[in-house]
Amino acid sequence: MKRSYILLLLLSLFVLLVACQQSSTNNANQEDNKNKEDETESKVDSNDPTEDSNDSKEAEQDKKDNTEQREDQNKDVQEETTEDGMVVVNTPNSLEVVVNKQRTLPEGFTPKNLMVPNVPFSFDEDNPKKQLRQEAAKALEALFAGAEQDGVDLVAASGFRSYQRQKEIYNYNVQTRGKEEADKFSARPGTSEHQTGLAMDVTSAEAAFALEQTFKQTKAGSWLSENAYRFGFVIRYPEGKSEITGYSYEPWHIRYVGDKTIAKEMYNQNLTLEEYFDLIP
């Protein structure tokens, strides 16, 4: 009887041991399967073509949004017209802005980032007319350096002018020359290129530092006429174009247009800004 009891006990322990072993194996298999499942899910997440497609679509949408934003910033918004028929330019900070006797800058406009270019001037004292917008100032430095390499000594004479300063100059010219004569060479306040900070009058010692049409006949004037475009500048009021520009020929007045391609095309085709941008009234 005792012996039978012991055998029964051993048999029970054996069954229990087998059961525990099976349970442990099942748990291990389940854990292994769980790990494999996690690993597979991770791989699917990282290689899911749907997710890549979504990311790609988002990137394309961002690119489209940015493009549309740039287009909105650059598109030609309807320009206002004053009571006296003047067009108020809507992009005064553009390097391609066109101001003339029919197109005026917004009231109170002053260009930002004005600076004094590192070039020789025809005067020593500090004066706002030494300033240009930064982009134009850097380009002017390159132009002067190019002239120097070719043995030409240029001198800057007059750059930025505020609305108030142009008003003083225009009124003085009207008083001393008469309105009809003054309008041939002097801009009314608000319509001067000098107020944009993109124009500079240039002369030379050979021209006695004067701003006269005879500057064209000097070595410096000839070089400027033939090379200004290489640095993004144009002769703003070229010879024979006064009916378009409204001003007499000024071989000393250069205007920065920003894009050397535009400057070169205008030079090669002898175009004014009005002609190039199709803004002839």
Known catalytic residues are: 250
Spatial CA neighbour of 233 closest among 185, 196, 206, 199: 199
Give, in order, the Cα–Cα distances in Å from 110 to each of 90, 164, 196.
14, 11, 7
Angle between helices 219-227 and 134-149 (to 10 degrees): 120
Give, in order, the Cα–Cα distances in Å from 156 to each of 68, 95, 129, 132.
40, 20, 10, 11
Q: Sign of dihedral through CA atoms 237, 238, 239, 242? A: negative
Residue whose token pair is 């120097």: 148
Contact 56, 63 (CB under 8 A): no
Cα 219–chain centre separation: 33
Q: What is the Cα–Cα distance from 197 to 192, expressed in whole angstroms?
A: 10
Q: What is the Cα–Cα distance from 110 to 102, expressed in whole angstroms?
A: 19
Backbone angles phi, psi at 219, to 5 degrees: -60, -40
* All residues at 6 or more sequence positions from 138 whose CB lies less than 8 Å from its CB, including other chains: 117
Q: Sign of dihedral through CA atoms 216, 220, 223, 228? A: negative
